[in-house]
Structure 1
Amino acid sequence: MRIWIPSRSLLFAGLRGHRPRRYSAVTSDVERVNIRVGLSGDMTIDLHNVAKSSPQSPLLVYLPPFSTAFTNTPAKLPKFIQGQPTAVINYRWHGFSPFGTRKGAAPASTGEPDKEEFFPILTWPAPLHDVLIAYSWIVENLRPDFDEKRDIYLYGSYLGASLAMSLALTESHIEEKIAVRGCIALNGIYNWTRFLPDHPFNNPPKPGSKQSSTSKTIVSRSNDPHFQELKQHAEALFVSPSGLFDPFASATLFFYNPGLLVPPNFTTSALSPGASFLANISLPNGVTGKSTLILKHPRKHPLFFPPSTSGLEIPRTLLLYTKPSTLPPSSFYEYVGRKNEDSFQTQAQELGWHMRSRTFEGMVNQEFPLNDAYHSWKDAATGRFQVHNVGSSSRDYTLNSKGEELAAIWLEDHTS
């Protein structure tokens, strides 16, 4: 049994009273480290090729597409990071797994059957806690000696991509000797609030309105089954709609306020009479004299991120997304009052646009253009922030050959 150094202070105070218990075991050339996470049980980190690599070599941190916390077999690494020193964070996130992830083991019997057994709730924000504790362990235990530098690069896909992007944006400290320097993400959801009924994506303009009469744009309905699966399981993953507004889940919300009220559930508008007694109350407008409803969504506005005193910089990022092969126009094209449909593509392009705008153009007061100008923000072939279409997705949620090639080239360019 190996005893590890206690981790640094974390963002959430609720776990400070519980000293993490850590030990490691070696299985099939992979070292598995168990870490106690307060009262919610243990999570694990799998270390691939770490012991035999230089402490100064770049370290890869991999967040799998779904929770792999309750499997005895280490997650298979994508081809482009095989052979690299890699730490796999086996975060726990109940709510959806296409492969039937098992639930955690029940606590051991105490011989007192009258006592109620405790089963931790492993929906949001449990995966965030796991990732923060795991990253703290990595920084404390895999840093080089003698105050030398070590760069960390993240890769995550699907649910892991959402977590990887929030970690990348908040742990890219310029002056730290060991910190996140880059991130690759595949098919992440970077703004979960888009799935709520009040979001503009889900509210076409009313017939006869100015917006309806001026915007007839052909847009594609998302026919990606993987995207639809995540959308359909948002409630199971988060339980409460308030979790969708957390920027650590929706990384794009580091850059702006979504301009939405938190609804009572995942299917009801926050402005409906059933959501608030204020929904039907109106007061006369002081200028026009007309009655105006007092309950309305807040105005969407930008946020200055990263803060100038934070010591953070937006790390170099490669955002990859899949796009299903084109179907006959009649099956998925229609004229609607919306400029875009939500998809892995629009999720990646919006996040990339905000990162690029903040870094290069200082456009703090400019919103992501949901109009024809949107299409002028094309997939960047070069630059600090790249967004690429890698074609059709694979059935097993792995990175396809085109994505592997792009990721391998990007990683080599940034680590060599």
Structure 2
Amino acid sequence: MLRPSQYDVPQQVASTLHNIPQHTPSHPLIIYLPPFFQSSQASPPPLPSFLSSYPTAVINYRWHDPSSSSSTTAPSSSPSPTHQWPTPLHDTLFAYHHLLTRLSSPSTTTPTTPRPIYIYSSYLGASIAASLALTESHVSSGKPMAVRGLVTYNGIYNWTMFLPDHPVHHQRSKTLLTAAARGEEEHAEGSFFHYLKDKLPDLFPNPGGMFDPFASPALFFRDPGMWVPEDFDSSVTGDAMSGAVDALSGEGEGKTQTTWNLKPPPKSYLTFPPWSSTLKIPEALLLYESTAPAPGKGTRKRKTTTTKTKTKRRVKVRNTFEGQAMELGVLMRRSVERYELRDGGEGTVEGNGEEGAEGQGGLEVEAEAEAERRVGMRDVGPVEGDGTLGGLGERMAGEWLRERVE
């Protein structure tokens, strides 16, 4: 087997190429973003087995590794010892645009059909992979390559879910669990989510970075519905902010006079891709491991087929790998249905009335079916915790890619 070739792109971002000489420049290219940052002294990360036969470019972005201690050192050339956000985004974009030049067709003319790119990543890398896929999936841009598909596993697509004010922490207020107990349920001691929450100050310089849609790609499609807090543990709409308002208004001595809290901003949908854009929602497969049942709940069956979630129905999610995938997947499907297929760029479906309801209903069914085909969310079952997909996940991802690449 040929050894992978390695080269550095601007800002000392190491990228590794696999199986490039064995394929023509027009063959679909796989871009793999590892789940976590590995220092330049480490060996190049191995490819997942289902990618081993494809021409693949590995982008080794720099982002603080949550599995390492705070004393982990980075290459001496970097001014940031922890490589906080947006360093990983800058690294990925530099490497991606370098790949467009290095691996494009040698023809001097602009190709009529761009070379297809499919992106795979998991965990931290999945955040960047999803935003890259959503913003580089042009249907007509004159570029030599364009993203056509995305596969992710256990990704974080909305980092604001980790903040106290996110609605996910309040949507089950009528259950038997208290708010504190709900937090323990979603970030159980020893879980990866609990660990990520502790590492937020290492990953982001401040909470504002979590509101960047390139870090939280779900925010391309909707407003976060919350204010940016001062730190990772404070609530903007809680008692602390109300106390500050009382102090400014001279009512600090009478706590009973001020019983309201600051309300969060409205959580409204955004039009993405924008109407004037050449972007198109790429095909996607969002994989996630089985979510442990809540305390007091029995075990549930694993979903072995594509999750069919109505985009018109409000979906309540938890901050789990499943919840993260569900939110992004539903938003992507909604965009396909509402903006790409059903409206044809002439407005929204809301307010059409009953006139033409039968014909509109047929279009809705077709649009919904296409959206579900385009964007899939699947449960790969329990995994060993080593960061890999596992046997079932590898088969799902491999079959999905083969249908599109070969």
Q: TM-score, normalised by structure 1?
A: 0.74
Distance 2:211 2:292 in 1: 32
1:88 to 53, 58, 61: 58
Distance 2:370 2:139 in 1: 25
Report whether the alignment pairs 1:158 with 2:123.
yes
* Map of 2:197 onto structure 1: 231
User: Which has the higher mean CA deviation after the structures are superposed, 323-332 or 135-144?
Assistant: 323-332
Instruction: Tell whether the 8 Å contact from 2:238 to 2:261 is kept in structure 1 after alignment.
Output: no
Alpha-carbon shift at residue 54 of structure 1 (Å)? 1.0
Report whether the alignment pairs 1:400 with 2:399.
no
- Indicate how the Cα distance of structure 1 residues 118 and 174 shifts in structure 2: closer, same or farther if over 3 A, else same: closer
Alpha-carbon shift at residue 73 of structure 1 (Å)? 1.0
Alpha-carbon shift at residue 351 of structure 1 (Å)? 0.7
Report whether the alignment pairs 1:189 with 2:156.
yes
Aligned length: 347
Q: Map of 1:7-406 to 2, 5 A cutoff?
A: 29-37=3-11, 42-97=12-67, 102-106=72-76, 118-119=79-80, 122-146=83-107, 147-148=110-111, 149-176=114-141, 177-203=144-170, 221-222=185-186, 225-272=191-238, 274=240, 279-280=245-246, 295-324=262-291, 329=296, 340-362=317-339, 383-406=373-396
SS in 1 for 2:193: helix
Distance 1:103 1:169 in 2: 32
Alpha-carbon shift at residue 330 of structure 1 (Å)? 6.1
User: Which has the higher mean CA deviation after the structures are superposed, 350-359 or 219-228?
Assistant: 219-228
Distance 1:323 1:379 in 2: 25
Instruction: Tell whether the 8 Å contact from 1:380 to 1:388 is kept in structure 2 after alignment.
Output: no
- Indicate how the Cα distance of structure 1 residues 76 and 99 shifts in structure 2: closer, same or farther if over 3 A, else same: farther
- Indicate how the Cα distance of structure 1 residues 379 and 233 shifts in structure 2: closer, same or farther if over 3 A, else same: farther
Distance 1:232 1:365 in 2: 42
Unaligned runs of 5+ in 1: 1-26, 108-116, 214-218, 284-289, 367-377
Alpha-carbon shift at residue 78 of structure 1 (Å)? 0.6
- Indicate how the Cα distance of structure 1 residues 200 and 43 shifts in structure 2: closer, same or farther if over 3 A, else same: same
Unaligned runs of 5+ in 2: 177-181, 251-256, 301-314, 343-347, 351-367
Q: Between the two proteins, what is the percent identity of the paired residues?
A: 39
Alpha-carbon shift at residue 55 of structure 1 (Å)? 0.7
Alpha-carbon shift at residue 271 of structure 1 (Å)? 3.0
Alpha-carbon shift at residue 48 of structure 1 (Å)? 0.8
Instruction: Tell me the amino acid that sits aligned with residue 31 of structure 1.
Output: S
Instruction: Tell whether the 8 Å contact from 1:278 to 1:295 is kept in structure 2 after alignment.
Output: no
- Indicate how the Cα distance of structure 1 residues 387 and 339 shifts in structure 2: closer, same or farther if over 3 A, else same: closer
Q: TM-score, normalised by structure 2?
A: 0.76
Distance 1:178 1:135 in 2: 10
Distance 2:401 2:20 in 1: 18
Alpha-carbon shift at residue 263 of structure 1 (Å)? 0.4
Structure showing the higher helix proportion among its residues: 2
Instruction: Tell whether the 8 Å contact from 2:236 to 2:262 is kept in structure 1 after alignment.
Output: no
SS in 1 for 2:132: helix
Per-residue CA distance 1:249-284 (angstroms, 9 max, x = gap): 10100000011110000111113465587533679x
Alpha-carbon shift at residue 229 of structure 1 (Å)? 2.4
* Map of 1:411 onto structure 2: 401
- Indicate how the Cα distance of structure 1 residues 380 and 90 shifts in structure 2: closer, same or farther if over 3 A, else same: same
- Indicate how the Cα distance of structure 1 residues 250 and 381 shifts in structure 2: closer, same or farther if over 3 A, else same: closer
Alpha-carbon shift at residue 141 of structure 1 (Å)? 1.1
Distance 1:267 1:29 in 2: 46
